[in-house]
Amino acid sequence: GENVEQHPSTLSVQEGDSAVIKCTYSDSASNYFPWYKQELGKRPQLIIDIRSNVGEKKDQRIAVTLNKTAKHFSLHITETQPEDSAVYFCAANRIRNTGKLIFGQGTTLQVKP
């Protein structure tokens, strides 16, 4: 069935460094790829999303890139700060299954001051 693989499962960086989280998806018809951030004890919240008609999208220190041919997409966080520490989830929609989102396994990012 359709799935989304997310790597790494944990990531530790020094404050100010960049962090990259990668996801691959299996449904070649997927056309919507959101990223959610979940701080400890809080709800997941959308931080950025990308649609298949663009290859990259930026929002301040956060960017997402999409490679449709390879079926993978990545989250890039530059100049990391301690408040970036959280669990990050990628997701892709499943066109053949009424478009519902399928999530990756999550990446726990720790930014060390």
Partner 1 sequence: DVKVTQSSRYLVKRTGEKVFLECVQDMDHENMFWYRQDPGLGLRLIYFSYDVKMKEKGDIPEGYSVSREKKERFSLILESASTNQTSMYLCASSLGDGTYNSPLHFGNGTRLTVT
**Minimum CB distance to partner 1 smaller for 39 or for 56:** 39
**Minimum CB distance to partner 1 smaller for 23 or for 77:** 23
Stretch that binds partner 1, among 12-20, 39-47, 60-68, 70-78 (CB under 8 A): 39-47
Q: Are 70 and 81 in contact (CB under 8 A)?
A: no
Which DSSP symbol is given to 9? S
Taking alpha carbons only, the member of 33, 38, 63, 65 closest to residue 49 is 33
Closest distance to partner 1 from the beta carbon of 105 (Å): 4
Q: Are 14 and 106 in contact (CB under 8 A)?
A: no
**Minimum CB distance to partner 1 smaller for 13 or for 95:** 95
